[in-house]
Amino acid sequence: MFQPRLILPLSRKSLAALLLAALCLGIASAQPAIQGKWADANDPVAKQLIEAERKWAILECEPSKIVEESLADDFVGTAPDGPIYTKAEALGEPAPAPGTVRACKLLGAKVRFYGSDIAIIYGSETSIRKGKDGKDHSRTLIWTDTWLKRIGKWQIIAVQDMYSPKK
């Protein structure tokens, strides 16, 4: 048996609010995700971030305050051999003994921006290290660093480092 449903009439105000909400949801869902873009070679922010990465790459050969200055307080990194570490742990890491690390060099870095406040930097670095056997060994790291601009200051919030595969 058919039973009629009670349909409450919408006021013009309610109908307008309902249509506005539907329109806003439609517009919001139609917005494309932020697409990354590679930084131009002359981009001043990219140059600034790459210079900070260079200082980090040569840190064991030329000590500086780059770790303290660049890492966010909530930073988390993954070391090449696997352990996860924090800013406090990075700052507490002892410097290598004099003469055990030399020829530190940034090999290259590329910056990809995601909006105006996030940058991912892909790079590599190398150094020569004296092993426990007394012989020199070349070490090359490949890394991905995530930078976030907070209150006008760029900071590293995450890193992932790995040893370059032997060739």
Domain boundaries, the chain: 37-163
Q: State residue 98's pLDDT score.
A: 87
Q: State residue 3's pLDDT score.
A: 54
Q: Give the pair of three-digit tokens for residue 44.
A: 């001043």
126 HSE (CA, 13 A, CB side): 10
Cα–Cα distance between 61 and 55 in angstroms, integer? 10
Cα–Cα distance between 17 and 11 in angstroms, integer? 10
Architecture of domain 37-163: Roll (3.10)
Question: For each successive 10 residues of the chain (167 residues), what is the average pLDDT?
Answer: 50 50 50 84 97 96 93 98 96 90 97 97 97 93 98 97 87
> Global pTM?
0.78
